[in-house]
Amino acid sequence: MNRIFLDVHALQTVPPSNLNRDDTGAPKTAVYGGVPRARVSSQAWKRAIRTCFKDEHLLDPAELGVRTKKIVELLADRITGLDQPVEQETALKLADETVRAAGFKTEVPKRKADQAKKDGGPAPAPESKYLVFLSSRQLDGLARLALEGADDITGFLKTKENKARAKELADTRHSVDIALFGRMVADVADINVDAAVQVAHALSVHRVDNESDYYTAVDDENTDEETGAGMIGTVDFNSATLYRYAALGVHLLAGNLGQGLRDDEPRTEPVRRAVEAFVRAFVDSLPTGKINTFGHHTEPDAVVVKLRTTRPISYVAAFEDPVRSDGGGHLREAADRLAAYAADVERAYGDPETTLTWVLRVGPATQKLADLGTEAGTLRELAAAVGQAVAERLEKPA
């Protein structure tokens, strides 16, 4: 399959907020172009994207995976949910043996074991030593395998054939989020999944210095004679116009999804759905750090999407020289710079014959970006146009 890459760029202004904090509670920062910038980590925004898939119903629950240490309990629930009746205790044993056969190490957490012993309650279920990422179809397959060997699960899974089946079931029919963001299992390297998407740390296009909000809370039951605050504290924050970027290897995504999660559709269909969901979630998602304190609900001011066969290209260098406000904010200058830099980079390194570009924007400050490509009226229209173009590219012979 030919290489196909999807670049997604966004400019997004956020008011005073603390989207992603460090170990001291302050908003994360980075030095770029010799000055401090506001930063939101890749991990924070990827988590927001994964959550958006579910919260906004962008994908069917069967197309999403679960990442948890409580994999034994999760699989036991799948086993008891099948047609054959199984007691919970038996289901936990079957699940633990099957999870181990697939290559994941499990143990009963000492803290939970000690607490159960102290309380005189039942022994807690084993857990994985690390987060395990499995799709719904993978869990269903492992549950059916466990029931198949229920009479003697230990002996059943000792055979090379059945142990291989357990590993194979854990490594086929990947969910969309696993196919996009990958999966690493240190104990079972042969079932790792290389991520198809790379998400950059969001950076402010201008210099940012963190600020601190001093606040107090009043005790409602204080009498007139009682003075002073019931609580005093501080919270750090900043505000910024952020440049956001992600690169999606469509050919890698197609390889990870394989035959897809359904048997009754062409192979291009799950890739199209995944691409459309990713575009919508990348644009619409927002990390929720301190959101009750700051209410920083904003959408991107501009989005530029490119479908290309040349390698991915970030436009972050447009802001290596920090944007300086002239009293009218940072967005207009940032949009103008992005438009000019993108055109220059594509002239020097791009391939206009194979590159498609779409733009979604709001407000007059982003007007110059309209010249980069086809304007979409809504986010739904943008995602649908990109998804259709991806499907058409995949259908072409290599």
Residue 188 has pLDDT above 80, yes or no: no
The mean per-residue pLDDT over the stretch 216-230 comes to 81
The mean per-residue pLDDT over the stretch 337-361 comes to 96
The mean per-residue pLDDT over the stretch 349-368 comes to 96
CA distance 28 to 353: 40
Sign of the alpha-carbon dihedral angle for 289, 338, 326, 321: positive
Q: What is the pLDDT of residues 28-85, one digit of tens each?
A: 999 999 999 999 999 999 999 999 999 999 999 989 999 999 999 999 999 998 878 8
pLDDT of residue 244: 99
CA distance 303 to 359: 6
Dihedral-angle region of residue 295 (phi above 0 means left; psi in -120 to 50 means alpha; beta otherwise): left
pLDDT of residue 120: 80
pLDDT of residue 110: 87
CA distance 242 to 274: 25
CA distance 357 to 369: 11
CA distance 138 to 75: 10
Report field, pTM of the whole predicted structure over 0.85: yes
Q: What is the pLDDT of residues 84-130, one digit of tens each?
A: 888 889 999 999 999 999 989 999 888 888 888 888 878 888 999 88
pLDDT of residue 263: 61
CB neighbours of 244 closer than 8 A, spacing ≥ 6? 8, 9, 10, 11, 12, 45, 200, 202, 282, 300
Tell me the C-alpha to C-alpha distance, in Å, between residue 16 and each of 82, 203, 233, 243, 318.
Answer: 50, 15, 17, 17, 24
| Pairing mode of beta strands 374-375, 356-361 | parallel
Among the ranges given (104-108, 202-206, 294-298, 335-339), the one the predictor scored with the smallest mean pLDDT: 104-108
pLDDT of residue 398: 63
Residue 261 has pLDDT above 70, yes or no: no
Mean pLDDT estimate for the chain? 92
54 pairs with which residues across the strands? none
CA distance 98 to 73: 12
Q: Where are the domains of the chain?
A: 5-62+195-216+237-395, 66-174
The mean per-residue pLDDT over the stretch 345-366 comes to 96
pLDDT of residue 271: 95
pLDDT band at 266 (very low <50, low <70, confident <90, very high): confident
Structure tokens at 217: 């809370």
